[in-house]
Structure formats: C-alpha cells, structure tokens
Amino acid sequence: MRKWIPALLIVAAVAVSLVMYPSLPDQITTHWSMSGEPNGWSSRFWGAWLMPLIMAMIWVIMRALPHIDPRRENYEKFRGMYDLVVSALLAFMLGMHVFVLRAATGHAMPIRKVVFIGVGAMFVLIGYALPKVHPNWFVGIRTPWTLTSDLSWERTHRIGGTLFIALGLVSIVSALVAPAASPWFVLGAALLTVVFLFVYSYRVWKDDPVRHST
C-alpha cells in the first residue's frame, strides 16, 4: 500500500486544482523573494497544473532510479525509508500547491513561516532516514568519497542524519521565532552542514583500507 501513497498525493493535487480552478484569477503568484515579496507569476492554467505535473514526473523518476542504479540490490535494504522520503517530498509539494492556490484566491498566507516550517519538517525526516540508507548512486549524501568507500558512506550518513535533524529544527524554530531572518539562519546552517560533511567524508575515506575506485 505504501508505494501507492505518492499516487494518492498526486491525485489529491489534481483534485485541489479542479476544485479551485474556477475561482483562480488569470494570473497567479507562484514565487516569492526571501523577504516574502511576490516576484514570480504564472497564468491560471500553469499555476493550477504545473505542480501536479512536476509531482507526477518526480514519482516516475523516483520509481525508475532503483532499476537503473548499478547498486540496485541495496535499495531493498532501505525500501521503507525510500518510500517514506518520496511520499514526504510529494506531501510537501502538495502542501505548497495548496498554499499557492489559497494565496491566489485572496487568503493571507505567512509565506516565510509556512515554507520554512515545511522545509524544516522535510530536513528532520531526511535526517531520520539518512542513517538507514545503504550505498547507492542516486539517494543520500553523494561525494566522491562516500561513493567509493562503504565505510565513508556509513559514517557520513550516520552523522549526517543528526546534522540534518538539527538543520530542520533550526528552520522550524527560526520560522516561528524570527521568520524575517529564517532564510539566513537556514542558509548559514545548511552551508556549514554541507562543508562539514564534504570534509568528513574525505577524512573517513582516507583512512578506509578497503576503499575502491568504482
């Protein structure tokens, strides 16, 4: 059943568009600046249907990846986490879709608060899943060193999980306490996380006696 949750989320996005389409204006705000000001617009048609289309494309791609990965056998070892992350990503996109359409129909929406709470929840979920992800070529923390050392992969994902949860909490708390500054808090924390994991994966790889070149 869980593998069909993404399909249900896509159907829900389509249903939302069908229900709200008659009340949508000719032009819809679909992008906001970091200060929360509208700076991107779409026609009613694309504003209503682009997100369901993107969700469907992502689902198709994510279902295909395990079949073309050279290390495809490892996906069975974390299939539950893989399905959970795919569903969570599409649920986040569905939430953003509802947010955009409601904003277009005149409902006041706190853009930065909603987005960064949603992003934070995604980071927390990813952090929970990362330590359970086995080596592969498409999903997880992919550096030249995690891809060529199972030891580097395991240790980087273990500590990466903790860091992603912390990053998610920074996003959520900053959105609640200081929404105007939350983009800078999140960007700064994300940059530090990326740099640390990049360096850490190399250091573990360097000390791995069984690292491989492919």
Q: Give the pLDDT confidence score for residue 36 in this predicted structure.
A: 66
Is the confidence at residue 213, as pLDDT, over 70? no
Pick the more confident residue, 19 or 111. Answer: 19
- Say whether both 149 and 98 belong to one domain: no
Domain boundary among 90, 105, 120: 105
Residue ending a domain, among 84, 105, 126, is 105
Give the whole-angstrom CA distance, residue 204 versus residue 214.
17
Q: Are residues 131 and 180 in contact, defined by beta-carbon separation less than 8 angstroms?
A: no
Q: What is the pLDDT of residues 100-114, one digit of tens each?
A: 898 888 877 777 788
Whether residue 212 sits in one domain with residue 189: yes
What pLDDT, on a 0 to 100 scale, did the predictor assign at position 208? 86
Domain extent for 14: 1-105
**Stretch 119-126: mean pLDDT:** 93
Looking at residue 2, what is its pLDDT? 67
Both 101 and 115 in one domain: the answer is no
Q: Are residues 116 and 214 in the same domain?
A: yes
123 and 141 assigned to the same domain = yes
Q: Are residues 133 and 91 in the same domain?
A: no
Please state, rounded to an integer, the average pLDDT across all residues of the chain. Answer: 90
- Indicate the number of domains in the chain: 2
- Please give the average per-residue pLDDT across 176-201, as a whole number: 93
Q: What is the pLDDT of residues 160-180, one digit of tens each?
A: 999 999 999 999 999 999 888
Let me know whether 117 and 171 are in one domain: yes
Q: Which residues, including other chains, have CB under 8 Å from residue 176's CB and lie 6 or more apart?
A: 113, 117
Least confident of 110-114, 118-122, 138-142, 160-164: 110-114
Q: Which of 56, 83, 105 is the last residue of a domain?
A: 105
Report the share of the chain in percent with pLDDT over 70: 95
Task: Output the pTM of the full model.
Answer: 0.86
